[in-house]
Amino acid sequence: MNKKLALFASLILMTSTSYAEDISKYQDESRAVAMPFLKQLGAVNQKAVSEGGPESAIKVCKDIAPQMSSDISRQTGWKLTRVTLKTRNPLLGTPDAWEQKALQEFDIRAAKGEKPETLEIAEIVQEPAGKSFRFIKAIPLQAGCVACHGTAEQISDNVKVRLHEEYPHDKATGYSVGQIRGAVSIKRTL
Ligand code: HEC
């Protein structure tokens, strides 16, 4: 290999290595924000359900989850959202094209036996609006979620009425424990 070619090859190697390092660094940073968000949301939700029943906890989900994600977005400068293929709140939960593809991939990977709680995708993407780092992590349904996202038998009549009032186009029911309810998504402009 001549010198020029060798230099060129090492340059390419250097760029791709630092690119990989960037992704794993961004991925760690995103996970460090996404995990506590999900944990805190779960705790607040559980507390509301145990104090006032699922009926009154609907309000918590409606107000607190979007509030928490917009607080995090303000603090970090990243866009943090919860998205799903079957929305309850289509205004906030509808995935964009990248998220939709990721959610579909999660379903396929889960069907092939991967554990939903381990499903993640991290990628640097070039979109017309610019370059960004994207991270998405699946949210598996837990036992505490079925009172509002489970089958018709698991959701009380009162909850059904409230859900119908607030979310006339609700698609987010019929889930069982362990299924992928949606994902937390982070978009960070680079
Ligand atoms: C007390 C009822 C209730 C419980 C319990 C509940 N949710 Fe929800 N969930 C809601 C409501 C209401 C919304 C819509 C929030 C909004 O308006 O943004 C929602 C929205 C979501 C969304 C956003 C996407 C969408 O469909 O709009 C995800 C993801 C989600 N829930 C996951 C969960 C998970 C996981 C659990 C269990 C850990 C859970 N929920 C427990 C009521 C509930």
List, for residues 101-159, the tens digit of each pLDDT value.
999 999 999 999 999 999 999 999 998 889 999 999 999 999 989 999 999 999 999 99
Residue with token string 């609907």: 58
What is the span of the domain harbouring residue 143? 3-189
Secondary structure (3-state) at 169: coil
Secondary structure (3-state) at 153: coil
Closest residue by CA, ligand 1 atom 15: 62
Decide if 156 contacts 77 (C-beta within 8 A).
no
Residue 15 to residue 46: CA distance in whole angstroms: 46
Go through the chain and tell me how many residues it has.
190
For ligand 1, what atom is nearest to the CA of residue 183? 29
- Measured in Å, residue 82 CA sits from the centre of ligand 1 at 9
* 183: enclosing H helix or E strand: strand 180-189
- Write out pLDDT tens, residues 48-101: 888 988 888 888 788 888 999 999 999 999 999 999 999 999 999 999 999 999
